[in-house]
Structure 1
């Protein structure tokens, strides 16, 4: 089996949920006995230049007839002119993390073009894998795909020690690429209205995907005079990232769009409550404790006033903090492991080849 990945999948300066998912699934498939030949293709996906398209075409042409080729949707979905002809002789499986047209900030004509390209690619695939039930339903409705062609394989999580936090309230952590879709600008606006309360916020994530947005975000922080309280640390992995989680009292994910939200389960695996926007898949990812209580706070998306209200409730209500922290620790024991993710993916791939 061939697994075609974006070229930045191993670049530690641009870690992302999609890259982590791809890497963990690839390792899990190999551990499950499915030989995996990984190929990372550099390019400005999903709108690559001619060289990137030529490289992708070379990889596909070299694949034997009938070979199963799993391709990250970021690579596959924008180039049907490359994918569709080869899908007639290989078994193409497309892994969609985010429908292309759902990326925040696209011009309408660009979104429409990407949507049409994605539709053509997915209709040519033997199977489509989405990372959440919400995403699967979105793809089926948006592209008219038969239900038996779309499968759901949600991300797993790793066991982790309980995070001790800082003082139980004031240390906020946002782990996400610094892009408009992740909504850090909303977080800055919300926190600026809470300057009279004790808090500090660390925003961890790549800052090179959208440098113009990052610059606007820095200017927004300076305009509100909260430079010393909000830090953009850039990407962190390994021990530095673990240290950030260990110090966190609350993880905040103010996304405008989110087809799963792996940061939520990474926080819950450490017993950290989450304040997130109630957008797309995030309510399902957050889930509930066995008694139905939420392990965090959900607020309307793209609304800095609602986000500020949720943060104010967290910072000022000790009983609320205790309640959601207890729910987060219950939810911690309910999370599926990455082994289960790999097993489900392997089952789909085996069925596709039979």
Structure 2
């Protein structure tokens, strides 16, 4: 990191090395910014913090000098009046609205959307990780579209996957935390519909984000008789995940909702044919991936069966995936976009001064 003071701070709750896409985004942006963004740790517990964790977060934020970008996992549940009282301009970093998370009770979803909207309106600017999220945020939260900016996840160059050894079962790989939003239950039902064949599936993702969902998925694997074919590996470190990508033949992301879909883009960089839902279309557009409706195990099974049974279809889709991935921005570009927003708001008054 540079010896000089950062141009702005990126405030992230909990452990920065947590194995999720949002934390990976923060880590890589901080690295790419080369010291122009400083890491401001906030207490863990978000998006369900205790009063003490909220107090600790606001105290940490109050000590920051200059602009501060607050990760949406924390921002969405911080009191808007506390955000507005901060001395410097605030940038909201929004991966996707918290209130749109799958499986929330309606009252909880409404409360999160109300809280998040109030906090975002107290920000000098908002940075989203996709154009779709930018549009949704402007509409859901009545934000001025001119204050909403897009800094999509970067994509590091990577070698194409080798795939399974000749004669070995084809590996269908999924990557993402075991939460209802990711749709892993839909994938498991699709796998059960495939029937016999030379394939296996590994789902890589943290079990502790939603332990109840992880338990439901383990029970579903047993119920569907997939114990010998489908594995929930848990979270893997970077080298182990890279080895898993290298051995994969097909990548699947059956999400019900995504802000972007970083894992699908990473699979495409590795020339993996991708089967996903329309929720991932910004990262994996039609033509570069096979897209099916969310919550449709039959359509998902048909797409997987097509790729498993037709090597030429796998090869063509792998080429299209790799070609698309090579057009996507790298992390340096993502950091530049955020730093442009920092530059634009640096002289802006705080929310308290604007009031």
After TM superposition, the score normalised by the length of structure 1 is 0.92
Give the 3-state SS of the residue equivalent to 2:232 in structure 1: strand
- The CA deviation at 1:81 is 4.4
Once residues 311 and 51 of structure 1 are traced to their aligned partners in structure 2, the CA distance between those partners, rounded to angstroms, is 47
Partner of 1:16: 20
Once residues 289 and 84 of structure 2 are traced to their aligned partners in structure 1, the CA distance between those partners, rounded to angstroms, is 47
Once residues 332 and 62 of structure 1 are traced to their aligned partners in structure 2, the CA distance between those partners, rounded to angstroms, is 40
CA contact (8 A) 1:73 1:96 kept: yes
Partner of 1:40: 41
Q: Segments of 4+ in structure 1 off by > 4 A?
A: none
Once residues 38 and 283 of structure 1 are traced to their aligned partners in structure 2, the CA distance between those partners, rounded to angstroms, is 31
CA contact (8 A) 2:171 2:247 kept: yes
Partner of 1:285: 283
CA contact (8 A) 2:183 2:295 kept: yes
CA contact (8 A) 1:172 1:251 kept: yes
1:90 to 2:88 alignment: yes
Once residues 259 and 136 of structure 1 are traced to their aligned partners in structure 2, the CA distance between those partners, rounded to angstroms, is 9
Give the 3-state SS of the residue equivalent to 1:171 in structure 2: strand
Partner of 1:140: 138
CA contact (8 A) 2:90 2:123 kept: yes
- The CA deviation at 1:27 is 1.6
After TM superposition, the score normalised by the length of structure 2 is 0.91
Partner of 1:291: none
1:130 to 2:128 alignment: yes
Once residues 22 and 83 of structure 1 are traced to their aligned partners in structure 2, the CA distance between those partners, rounded to angstroms, is 23
Partner of 1:298: 291
Structure 1, unaligned runs of 5 or more: 289-293
Partner of 2:58: 57
Partner of 2:178: 178
- The CA deviation at 1:69 is 0.9
Partner of 2:343: 350
Give the 3-state SS of the residue equivalent to 1:134 in structure 2: helix
CA contact (8 A) 1:179 1:213 kept: yes
CA contact (8 A) 2:80 2:118 kept: no
CA contact (8 A) 1:60 1:86 kept: no
CA contact (8 A) 2:43 2:57 kept: no
- The CA deviation at 1:100 is 1.1
Once residues 236 and 244 of structure 2 are traced to their aligned partners in structure 1, the CA distance between those partners, rounded to angstroms, is 9
User: More displaced, 172-181 or 77-86?
Assistant: 77-86
- The CA deviation at 1:43 is 2.8
User: More displaced, 93-102 or 308-317?
Assistant: 308-317
- The CA deviation at 1:108 is 0.5
Partner of 2:10: 3
RMSD: 1.6
Once residues 106 and 263 of structure 2 are traced to their aligned partners in structure 1, the CA distance between those partners, rounded to angstroms, is 29
1:310 to 2:303 alignment: yes
Once residues 27 and 239 of structure 1 are traced to their aligned partners in structure 2, the CA distance between those partners, rounded to angstroms, is 18
- The CA deviation at 1:276 is 0.3
Give the 3-state SS of the residue equivalent to 1:5 in structure 2: strand
- The CA deviation at 1:82 is 5.6
Partner of 2:71: 72
Once residues 247 and 318 of structure 1 are traced to their aligned partners in structure 2, the CA distance between those partners, rounded to angstroms, is 16
- The CA deviation at 1:167 is 5.3
Q: 1:160 aligns with which of 155, 158, 163?
A: 158
Once residues 84 and 339 of structure 1 are traced to their aligned partners in structure 2, the CA distance between those partners, rounded to angstroms, is 28
